[in-house]
Amino acid sequence: MSETPLFEIEDLHVSTVPEGDRTATEILNGVSLTVGEGEVHALMGPNGSGKSTLASTLMGSPDYQVTSGRILFRGDDITDWDTDVRAKVGLFLAFQSPQEIAGVSVLNFLRQSLSARKGIEMSVLELRLSLMEWMERLEMDHSFMERCVNEGFSSAEKRQNEILQMAVLEPEFAILDETDSGLDTLRTVARGVREIRRDRPAMGALAITDDQRLLDHLEPDRVHILIDGSVVQSGGLELAAVLEADGYESFL
């Protein structure tokens, strides 16, 4: 295993991008954490703590600007890299609210995405066979691949689609932005992550959530508590027990 951490966030300060007369507002004020190869970390915090801002910033969203600090991937400073470049080198974001893409099937979307990720033109037949294998492993109907991306999808189907994308695109580091919504979906997400890591044990993941039940199913290596834009405490699953007993007030 490499001595260089897979993914690092160093003293990250992030603000909104000002528009017109609107001034920038700092949302993250000094977030630091390190995820090693093969590790799954959970980032928990109440609404408004900056969780989704962090997820978007890690993938290079233009809606936010890093005012200080760094984001490192395998030791390379990627703080200023464009989103598509981050995706090509192996970063993946499962969105909290994935967009619908009318007229584009799941199969064609993944073919284009995987071709860009690998830098080669992917065979439709090869990808279809891979999708069928993964859909069986993830307990999804094969007809899913012919549907337009997220169009008419239920909340659970959107989560399944995000997990399917993560399986096929083979990222090295995955960010799951509040992909949980209901106990069945929690189990689907956790089972999907475990199944993918059977093939790719070195993949790291950061699961961002405000639902401690995800921790019961995902069993992360480390838990971080984010409040008011800062990581106030990091530890093991014992933090979940504190949250269950006392809520976030115990970390204020």
Q: What's the length of the chain?
A: 252
By DSSP bridging, strand 64-73 and strand 222-227 are unpaired
pTM exceeding the 0.85 threshold for the entire prediction: yes
Q: Is 111 in contact with 127 (CB distance < 8 Å)?
A: yes
Query: Is 1 within the bounds of a domain?
Result: no
| pLDDT tens per residue across span 29-86 | 999 999 999 999 999 999 899 999 999 999 999 999 999 999 999 999 999 999 999 9
| pLDDT tens per residue across span 168-224 | 999 999 999 875 566 677 788 888 999 999 999 999 999 998 888 888 888 999 999
| pLDDT tens per residue across span 105-120 | 999 999 999 999 988 8
Q: Is 188 in contact with 159 (CB distance < 8 Å)?
A: yes
Query: Is 158 within the bounds of a domain?
Result: yes
Structural domain for 89, as ranges: 7-251
Q: Is 186 in contact with 214 (CB distance < 8 Å)?
A: yes
What's the pLDDT at 71? 98
What is the rounded average pLDDT for all residues in the chain?
Answer: 91
pLDDT score of 94 more than 70: yes
- The CATH number assigned to the domain holding 14 equals 3.40.50.300
Query: Is 164 within the bounds of a domain?
Result: yes
Q: Which residues contact 222 (CB under 8 A, 6 or more apart)?
A: 39, 41, 42, 234, 235, 236
Q: Strand 7-16's sheet: what is its strand order?
A: 26-35, 7-16, 64-73, 76-77
Q: Report the phi/psi class of residue 60: left, alpha or beta, with left for phi > 0 and alpha for psi in -120 to 50.
A: left
Query: Is 94 within the bounds of a domain?
Result: yes
Domain count, the chain: 1
Q: Report the phi/psi class of residue 179: left, alpha or beta, with left for phi > 0 and alpha for psi in -120 to 50.
A: alpha
Residue 37, Cβ density class (10 Å: 0-12 exposed, 13-18 middle, ≥19 buried): middle
Question: What three-state secondary structure class fits 80?
Answer: coil
